[in-house]
Structure 1
Amino acid sequence: MVDLPRISNNGRTHTRLEKLSPRDAACNPLSILQNCKQTKGRPAFIAGPMVRYSKLPFRELVRNFNTDIVYTPMILAREFVRNDIARLSDFTTNNADRPVIVQVGCNNATDLLRFVDMIHPYVDGIGLNCGCPIKEQVKEGIGAALMSEPDLVADMVKVVKQKYGSSVVLETKIRIHSDINETLRFAKKVEASGVDFITVHGRTKNTRSSQPANHDAIKLVKENVSVPVVANGDCYSLEDAYRIAEYTGVDGVMAVRGILANPALFAGFDKTPWMAVEIFLHLAASYGLPFRITQHHLSEMLDKIIPRKVLKEMNEKTNLIDLIDWLDATFYVKREGEEGYATDVSPPWKKRKIIDIKY
């Protein structure tokens, strides 16, 4: 018997004691990375962690569109292990939420091990964030601050792997250093400590997102470690994913901003198809996603497929009821169970006179 931090079932959440069934071996991230490369002849397609936005409804959405592995938002270990309210608010899952990797922000082995103790039965992998450049996180000694603490990261990895071995898949997500040799030393040290795979964001903690990711650096990391490597940075299309994988030789490609804007990216759509909007609306309502998060997702998804003045109208709505009424007045929005639900690619306009764009 184990204590469930929080489990959601068809939109309902509760805390209870339950005997868990083992995780499906087919959802093991290492198996997926290997199977995609060896059997499917392609990199694994991965939706990366997003602060506030890679919650359960979005994770379920992208699985409809050829995404192999999905991450949760980063959870702060020190809050999660000490505060029941944090556990209730930060982590929600269900039996369909597989494969899923939970990302954790932590700066000491004690909190990390306690976090893993609590959460590992409910996830397929745990990712240690060593790359978040947000100043507040860096000041707390987590995220990108850990890039200057290779011994600490190695110790954290070692503690978890010594206790759990292969029963827990542990990943580290890193950024590169200005001196690539420092990055290689970091990656090798973490690998020697037992990490299962490494995700490399091809920017330093000070590199602006508008600057191109350094795929040469990612390639060098891949060539210098034996564990699987995932590339992160500048994946905005399926073509990008294949191009990055071919150039770097990595085992998987992670999209973050790209998949936030287009959840169907890995299915080959160059813009968000309307079917994704309808699926997301159903999931957001079913799971009770907060209004502002729902609105932001829709704003990101619709940005490239409707005119700015129409998008502005939607973003001016202040509650979910008004937002849904606006969508119904502007588009033919189908609900789950209705004929044609989640089949349209282009937006089904009602106000066609304001639109003259090609999808």
Structure 2
Amino acid sequence: MSRRLHSESPPPRSAKRAKMEKLTLESFKNGVVLAPMVRSGALPSRLFALKHGASLVWAPETIDKAILHSERVVDPVTGVVSYNGKSRAIWTTHPVEKPYLIYQIGSADPDLAVQAAKTVMQDVSGFDLNCGCPKPFSTHGGMGAALLTNPDLLCSILTALREAMPPEITVTAKIRLLPSQEDTLKLVERIINTGVSALTVHCRTRNMRDRDRAMIERLKEIVEFVKGMGKDIAVIENGDCLGAEDAKRVREATGAHSVMIARAAECNPSCFSNTPLTDIHETLVPAYLRLSKYLDNNWSLTKFCLSQFKSSHTKPNGKADEKRVRESIVKSRSFDEVVDIAGGWTGEEDFEEIVRAIEAREGKSHAGAEPSTADAEVVGAPEQTAASTTTPSTSTNQSSLCRAVEAKSGNKYITPPGTQNPHPPASGAPLIADVQRTLPALISGKDPLTPTPLVMPVL
């Protein structure tokens, strides 16, 4: 891995920049936020999400032990903060996103969770405990969705984090629905009583997958339940939201304070704007490449993120051109081979444009009711012009998802009382397996377990 020389602290930024206030309970309300996504939630994607109106961004889950044995280094040119393992960067961030950044921890041990949080606390504004991911890398050793079957451990981790962190750093949790709605409410009550600042509910059960419609109708009861507890805690909906405009439908159906977007953002990080970009092989991909190279983002990780991008088209040959660009990127083995697509390496200008868009929000509420305000007022240039030439700018796959949601729900979000949440056997992941956790790198001589593969796939 080739990285620049590093210094111990980032270069000083302009004195003109206003200092951002800390996150509060209100920061999690009236917003549209980026979900924690392994690989897809890379630093460039988070920065573009913020540029286009995401009120907060969640970093990808990082296993507690993985970050404990990393080395924090700062790039003296860009200010990028990298937590490096023996062979690669485990996690990267930049000070410009810190006021909006929630770091998600994968853990099944209160002490390790606290140690992991203390390791990165200087670079984040809040911590989120992953209690919902059903994938084996997360359920390993009782983490992720496995915590849903061990509420004592789940709540002990949240309590430990809240007690160990200073008050200005928030602690939140992300869960899934349990098969029984009654059990879900019992778990929610326990979580809220640990002192969390917000709760995100992925409206699927552990064994449900993306192809299964999210049961957003179940969230309304949870929102009302939390309100009935007398707690001023935000409940954030996750599942089947297509973008900033669609978030209005979701909030109306669920009563959620905010909406979290995953798949739609994976396809198009500008979905947080009321006018998301179209023809993104021209309006976003070149800028994403330039920014990724400037920030020294891992090439394989960059290529993976770009391979997920999709959008609607406004030009006759748009679909064919997008396919051509995607295939060219997939075949490339380094940034040097995509210079024609990137249009030259002027990533610093793209970064400064993002910084201006983010700084324009400072002094305002974190959770703006109109997520597209920042990029509409500040960025306005070629990207927004491209987006404004079309009416519905929802991508093809998002439109398919929307039709599927409507077909399955009949546009009605009602579940008869007493109905259990579907819990089909699918993942086969252990509930709370007694698995010996990996040894620290200093002992084993190997990188600790982390959701992202140690050897990035060449796509």
Q: Under TM normalisation by the shorter chain, which class is it?
A: 0.7 to 0.9
Can you list the C-alpha shifts for 1:245-277, whole angstroms capped at 9, x where unaligned?
111111111101111101111212355444333
Deviation at 1:29, TM superposition (A): 5.4
Q: Does 1:94 align with 2:94?
A: yes
State the secondary structure of the residue aligned to 1:250. Answer: coil
Aligned counterpart in structure 1 of residue 25 of structure 2, from 22, 25, 30:
30
Aligned counterpart in structure 2 of residue 319 of structure 1, from 314, 326, 334:
334
What is the total number of aligned residue pairs between the two structures? 322
Name the CA distance, whole Å, in 1 between partners of 2:208 and 2:263. 16
Name the CA distance, whole Å, in 1 between partners of 2:109 and 2:184. 21
Deviation at 1:343, TM superposition (A): 5.4
Who is 2:186 aligned against?
185
Who is 1:66 aligned against?
53
Aligned counterpart in structure 2 of residue 53 of structure 1, from 21, 40, 48:
40
- 1:183-332 map, 5 Å: 183-225=184-226, 226=231, 227-269=233-275, 272=278, 273=280, 274-302=282-310, 304-305=312-313, 306-307=319-320, 309-310=323-324, 311-325=326-340, 327=341
CA distance 1:267–1:217, change in 2 (3 Å): same
RCO (CA 8 Å, sep 6+): is it higher in 1 or 2? 2
Can you list the C-alpha shifts for 1:156-204, whole angstroms capped at 9, x where unaligned?
1112222336232001000111111111111110111111110000011
- TM-score of the superposition, structure 1-length normalised? 0.80
State the secondary structure of the residue aligned to 2:260. Answer: strand
For 1:250, give the aligned amino acid.
A
State the secondary structure of the residue aligned to 2:205. Answer: coil
State the secondary structure of the residue aligned to 1:26. Answer: coil
For 1:87, give the aligned amino acid.
Y
State the secondary structure of the residue aligned to 2:204. Answer: coil
Name the CA distance, whole Å, in 1 between partners of 2:102 and 2:215. 25
Name the CA distance, whole Å, in 1 between partners of 2:110 and 2:139. 17
Name the CA distance, whole Å, in 2 between partners of 1:122 and 1:319. 29
Name the CA distance, whole Å, in 2 between partners of 1:192 and 1:343. 44
311-320 or 228-237, which deviates more: 311-320
- 1:160-171 map, 5 Å: 160-164=161-165, 166-171=167-172
- 1:56-135 map, 5 Å: 56-84=43-71, 87-88=83-84, 89-97=89-97, 98-135=99-136
85-94 or 104-113, which deviates more: 85-94
State the secondary structure of the residue aligned to 1:166. Answer: coil
Check whether the contact 1:276–1:342 (CA below 8 A) recurs between aligned residues: yes
Deviation >3 Å, runs of 4+: 11-15, 23-27, 82-87, 269-275, 302-305, 311-314, 332-338, 340-344
Deviation at 1:321, TM superposition (A): 2.1
Q: Which sections of structure 1, spanning at least 5 residues, go unmatched?
A: 1-10, 35-42, 347-359
Name the CA distance, whole Å, in 2 between partners of 1:148 and 1:75. 21
Can you list the C-alpha shifts for 1:188-227, whole angstroms capped at 9, x where unaligned?
1011111111000001111021111011222222111132
Q: Which sections of structure 2, spanning at least 5 residues, go unmatched?
A: 73-81, 314-318, 351-380, 388-459
For 2:95, give the aligned amino acid.
N
CA distance 1:219–1:102, change in 2 (3 Å): same
State the secondary structure of the residue aligned to 2:83. Answer: helix
Check whether the contact 1:201–1:218 (CA below 8 A) recurs between aligned residues: no
Name the CA distance, whole Å, in 2 between partners of 1:294 and 1:164. 33
Can you list the C-alpha shifts for 1:31-50, whole angstroms capped at 9, x where unaligned?
3234xxxxxxxx31101111
Deviation at 1:344, TM superposition (A): 5.0
Deviation at 1:121, TM superposition (A): 2.1
State the secondary structure of the residue aligned to 2:184. Answer: helix
What is the aligned-residue RMSD (CA, Å)? Answer: 3.0
CA distance 1:275–1:251, change in 2 (3 Å): same
Q: Does 1:345 align with 2:355?
A: no
CA distance 1:24–1:185, change in 2 (3 Å): farther
Deviation at 1:320, TM superposition (A): 2.3
Name the CA distance, whole Å, in 1 between partners of 2:269 and 2:139. 29
Check whether the contact 1:76–1:104 (CA below 8 A) recurs between aligned residues: yes
For 2:94, give the aligned amino acid.
N
For 2:51, give the aligned amino acid.
N
Percent identity of the aligned residues? 24
CA distance 1:243–1:341, change in 2 (3 Å): closer
CA distance 1:240–1:196, change in 2 (3 Å): same
CA distance 1:83–1:286, change in 2 (3 Å): closer
For 1:51, give the aligned amino acid.
V
- TM-score of the superposition, structure 2-length normalised? 0.64
Name the CA distance, whole Å, in 1 between partners of 2:19 and 2:116. 21
Deviation at 1:293, TM superposition (A): 2.0
Check whether the contact 2:290–2:345 (CA below 8 A) recurs between aligned residues: no
Deviation at 1:26, TM superposition (A): 3.2
CA distance 1:264–1:291, change in 2 (3 Å): same
Who is 1:352 aligned against?
none
Who is 1:351 aligned against?
none
Deviation at 1:241, TM superposition (A): 0.8
Deviation at 1:136, TM superposition (A): 3.2
Check whether the contact 2:22–2:168 (CA below 8 A) recurs between aligned residues: no
